[in-house]
Amino acid sequence: MTLSILGQIALPVTSTDRAEQFYGDTLGLPKLFRYGDLAFFNCGGVRLMLDGGRDKVDAGTGVCHYFKVEHIDTVAATLQARGVAFEREPHLVAKMPDHALWMAFFRDPDGHLLALMEEKR
């Protein structure tokens, strides 16, 4: 037996309503459903579970969710127009033998680190 596919990622948030608006309306992730303080979104076949109602969230503890995109500059500009503040413009991170890896980092309302990533051919 080999594990290879993630089915769901849990992310603690202080306000399910605020996180649901950010991940759904601002980032445009398709919402699957909500159950109490849990909101679920589809991230290309992997479920993102926002686990709300926490008094405190310790963000920035080495976890980052990377969203694979095409046309990173366009996606970043769209998100900026929706109020997302990027820590830095999309930039080249590494040149690989078959692609160039570009990233742009930002944070959600609870301070969780998120990123856009594009593998440019």
For 50, the token pair is: 């926002």
Q: Quick check: helix, strand or coil at residue 72?
A: helix
Helix (H) or strand (E) holding 24: none
Domain formed by 58-121, architecture: Roll (3.10)
Domain formed by 1-56, architecture: Roll (3.10)
Say which amino acid occupies 51: D
Residue 5 is given by DSSP the state -
What is the pLDDT tens value at each position of the chain, 121 positions in all? 787 888 999 999 999 999 999 999 999 999 999 999 999 999 999 999 999 988 888 877 778 999 999 999 999 999 999 999 999 999 999 999 999 999 999 999 999 999 999 999 9
Residues of the chain with CATH 3.10.180.10: 1-56, 58-121
The pLDDT, as a whole number, for residue 2 is: 83
Whole-model pTM: value is: 0.90
Rounded to whole angstroms, how far apart are CA atoms 73 and 96?
20
The pLDDT, as a whole number, for residue 54 is: 82
Rounded to whole angstroms, how far apart are CA atoms 119 and 93?
10
